[in-house]
Amino acid sequence: MGFFSLVTGRPGASGFGSASTAEQVTEGIDAKNLTAIVTGGASGIGLETAKILALRRAHVIIAARNIGAANKAKQIILEENEKARVDVLILDLCSVKSVRAFVDSFIALDLPLNLLINNAGVMFCPHRLSEDGIEMQFATNHLGHFLLTNLLLEKMKNTAKTTGIEGRIVNLSSIAHVHTYGNGIRFDRINERSGYSDKRAYGQSKLANILHANELSRRLQAEGVNITVNSVHPGIIMTPLMRHSAFLMKTLRFFTFCIWKNVPQGAATTCFVALHPKLKRVTGKYYVDCNEMKPSSYARNEKLAKRLWDFSNKLIDGASSKS
């Protein structure tokens, strides 16, 4: 899938392309036996993802920091689809305490878990630390999802085993993963203000999303678990995620309008990877415009992925010991 395909929307090998919408790529798919968690499902492509999963009859849990916005999102879905099964739970991904509380609340619902859509994130924000003392973009985009996924993994494994239905985890990354710090992840300076770049910090967190997906995929394959893990680039879409750089993005969009997507198109790759039968048993891959693509060399570095895994666990242990 090259620039020509991006601009024209020409379908790739999957039969879909940049112009495909989430509704189109899931047409005819019945997800009535599936339960899905969508982080950041209160707005943007997260809301569109939740809406389409509900349209395909999945039971959707919207996990969001702003519970008011999440309840509004639920009402939007129900107004369009009165039979939709949607629940809302609060989740602040930049807080280890909140992630653990969310998982406790979800487990208390006694539901199965087939799909985990790690969608939420922050973008290009000024340097600041989370309540756990971790740089905000890394904490929210990567670490919170890393912990959330680990805490929900046993539930997903049990669901896959008892139902025989393949579980799927989708990490939303970005083409921005190619624009990161030297050596990919600045492990020794992850929280430092010195040398901080909001753009490279975002790219670092998106690289971490792919590395996390790849390493988890390898571990689950080694266990023989019926769960796949893939990462996606949704495309360039004007959503609330861009609130820290709205002027820059609007200016960029004026000159590059031909490569921007609308929200239904932006949610297409996520929904394709989460639901489409073509991706059965496909794991550890990176998708753009509903087609597999090769990510950066850093993203394919197994040693870097393993180091990030251990580093992430140490950060979580440190944050947990403080709370």
* CB-based burial, 1-21: b 16+ in 10 Å, e otherwise: beeebbeeeebbebebbbbbb
Q: Which two tokens stand for residue 256?
A: 């590059």
Q: Which two tokens stand for residue 248?
A: 């820059």
In this structure, of 11-25, 38-52, 89-103, 251-265, the range with the lowest mean pLDDT score is: 251-265
pLDDT of residue 253: 46
pLDDT of residue 322: 76
Q: Which two tokens stand for residue 52?
A: 């389409």
pLDDT of residue 5: 47
On the 0-12 / 13-18 / 19+ scale of CB atoms within 10 A, 22 is buried
Domain boundaries, the chain: 3-322
- Of the candidates 67, 17, 57, 11, the one whose C-alpha atom is nearest the C-alpha of residue 36 is 57
Phi and psi, residue 251, nearest 5°: -65, -45
On the 0-12 / 13-18 / 19+ scale of CB atoms within 10 A, 193 is exposed
In this structure, of 132-146, 209-223, 231-245, the range with the lowest mean pLDDT score is: 231-245
Q: What percent of the chain has pLDDT over 70?
A: 90
- How high is the mean pLDDT of the chain? 92
pLDDT of residue 124: 94
Query: pLDDT at residue 144 above 90?
Result: yes
Please indicate whether residue 258 or residue 73 has the higher confidence score (pLDDT).
Answer: 73
The whole-angstrom separation of Cα 157 and Cα 162 is 9
| Cα separation of the two ends of the chain | 46
Compute the average pLDDT of residues 81-86.
98
* Residue-wise pLDDT tens digits, 153-190: 999 999 999 999 999 999 999 999 999 999 999 999 99
pLDDT of residue 323: 63
Told to judge if 286 belongs to the known catalytic residues of this protein, a careful annotator would answer no
Catalytic residue among 196, 202, 287, 298: 196
pLDDT of residue 240: 53
Compute the average pLDDT of residues 194-218.
98
Compute the average pLDDT of residues 107-134.
97
- Of the candidates 2, 6, 8, 16, the one whose C-alpha atom is nearest the C-alpha of residue 273 is 16
Q: Place domain 3-322 in its CATH homologous superfamily.
A: NAD(P)-binding Rossmann-like Domain (3.40.50.720)
Q: Which two tokens stand for residue 257?
A: 């309008």
Query: pLDDT at residue 105 above 60?
Result: yes
Q: What percent of the chain has pLDDT over 90?
A: 88
pLDDT of residue 237: 84
Compute the average pLDDT of residues 125-147.
98
